[in-house]
Chains A and B, each alone.
Chain A
Amino acid sequence: MRQSNRESAGHVARRASIENSLLAAVPRKEYRRLLAGLEPVTLTFGEVLYEPGETIRHVYFPGASLVSLLTLVDGHLGLEVGLIGREGMVGIPLVLGHNVSSVRALVQGSGTAMRMASAHFRKEFRLSLPLQQELYRYIHTLMAQISQTAACNRFHVVEARLARWLLMTHDRVKSDQFRMTHEFLGHMLGVRRVGVTKAAQALQKRKLISYSRGDIIVLDHRGLEAAACQCYEVVKDMHDGAQAGYAMRKMRISAAA
């Protein structure tokens, strides 16, 4: 009895350091087995993890890093359709029985991640019911995010979308300062560079951000929230809801153990 108590205390301490929420939500026994196939990596800004049509070699569980999913058209135009951080996994097609990516996965925030080779992941996925359930739920959230992004792109002006995008990045990297080029932002928001410049200047003029040579500093978080479209709140709620869900299921798991 005492033995198992000590063990679970140690297990909680160890697991507190698991940065990725999906991995943290998997029961200890399963996590231990997963760990054998997980490799810590550092993802750097601008790195491309997948190109559309390419075979997926690894799945990634971001920790402090952030990965953008981009859909490309007409050779050069793009649009960010999803953003994956510590709440998720990059490589969803593997869960859905497909080994090819239909989007470009681009590192948008440098930082840590755990990765696993595709073949290994498929095997583990088949074995672990809790991992399956967490991933299915996560896909549901991701689909809601993609839908919401589609609608936002349709109805909201660039300035409001830029404000939202900066806030989402801010929340995930947990820093007031990050690097972004106009070209990169243009891809994310699906607008030309000049559109990004105009929107960024407008936000700068309102003293909400400072922007020079690709360095963005958020000066007024509240003001930026007011400038962003409602979608920021919606996505934040979805995201927080997912996080709360993980925490609740984890509590249930430890209570049952």
Chain B
Amino acid sequence: MLAPHTPKQNHLLAALPAADYERLLSHLELVPLELGWALYESGSQQGYVYFPTASIVSLLYVMHDGSSAEIAIVGNEGVVGIALFMGGETTPSRAVVQSAGYAFRLKGSLLKGEFERGGPLQYLLLRYTQALITQMAQTAVCNRHHTVEQQLCRWLLLSLDRLPSSELTMTQELIANMLGVRREGVTEAAGKLQAAGLIHYSRGKITVLDRPKLEARVCECYAVVKRESDRLLSRKTAIVDQLS
């Protein structure tokens, strides 16, 4: 039943021309990402970058007092560890697995070398960075102005777009951490969505039952991020732009 794992399940890797893809292939290593595992701590050096295939990684900004807020999520559309090729010595955020699954990882030094070649991979990574910046800025404004329920809808939809299935493996506590709100707030918002038949929540698994209704409840922030991601990362655009 299970499809075999292939790096092509990650959209950035899938968008690479065959020659570039082949060059990377033998260096890509499949790793399971367990729920709650921290890929990086903030301020740490990065040994690897991760291309998620069937998992969601949350980037969290950690304050001095230890509280943290999610600034973006990364799934099969992207890569975790862009500080590495942007020349930052350490990562400013913490990266935590929010929905368990798999990723392919690549040694940081290798990716840096590939980035410096200036080919299609660099092009794709930079465009992804722009999409990520948009997501971060939109998350900031969404946190400021929108209700927990709207934010939860945004989070679920963005996650669904970044996963191959409609099922998320996660806990309410993690959602609360990530949205930077109290657990009761999340429980209440999730309860409402469940009562309305939009999602089903049971034992750390959230299944989305009615996506159109989620889309009707979500704030505009979801559409802004989606539009930008689609425009920047759709395979067709990438290849057409590259050729022009």
Q: Report if B85 contacts A (CB, 8 A).
A: yes
Q: How many residues of A contact B (CB 8 A)?
A: 40
State the A residues within 8 Å of B (CB).
69, 71-74, 77-79, 81-82, 92-93, 95-98, 102-103, 133, 136-137, 139-144, 146-151, 153-155, 190, 230-231, 234
Contacting residue for A234 out of B64, B69, B127, B141, CB 8 A: B64
Q: Residue of B at shortest CB range from A146?
A: B136
Contacting residue for B143 out of A103, A137, A153, CB 8 A: A153
The answer on a CB contact under 8 Å between B71 and A146 is yes
The answer on a CB contact under 8 Å between B126 and A144 is no
A59 to chain B, nearest CB (A): 14
Q: Residue of A at shortest CB range from B241?
A: A97
A165 to chain B, nearest CB (A): 14
Q: A71-B138, A137-B88 are in contact. Are A153 and B126 (CB under 8 A)?
A: no
The answer on a CB contact under 8 Å between B61 and A97 is no
Q: Report if B130 contacts A (CB, 8 A).
A: yes
Q: Report if B191 contacts A (CB, 8 A).
A: no
Query: Which B residues are CB-close (under 8 A) to A97?
Result: 123, 126-127, 130, 232, 241
CA distance A102 to B63 in the complex (A): 27
Contacting residue for B126 out of A96, A133, A140, A147, CB 8 A: A96
The answer on a CB contact under 8 Å between A137 and B144 is no
Could you pull out 23 A-B pairs where Cβ atoms are within 8 angstroms?
A71-B140, A73-B142, A77-B141, A77-B144, A79-B145, A81-B140, A82-B137, A92-B133, A96-B126, A97-B126, A97-B130, A98-B130, A133-B87, A137-B86, A140-B88, A143-B129, A143-B132, A143-B133, A144-B92, A146-B133, A149-B140, A150-B136, A230-B63
The answer on a CB contact under 8 Å between A79 and B134 is no
B167 to chain A, nearest CB (A): 28
The answer on a CB contact under 8 Å between B87 and A98 is no
B126 to chain A, nearest CB (A): 5
Query: Which A residues are CB-close (under 8 A) to B136?
Result: 81, 143, 146-147, 150
Contacting residue for B86 out of A79, A136, A149, CB 8 A: A136
CA distance A146 to B138 in the complex (A): 10
CB-based closest 3 A-B pairs: A150-B140, A96-B130, A140-B88
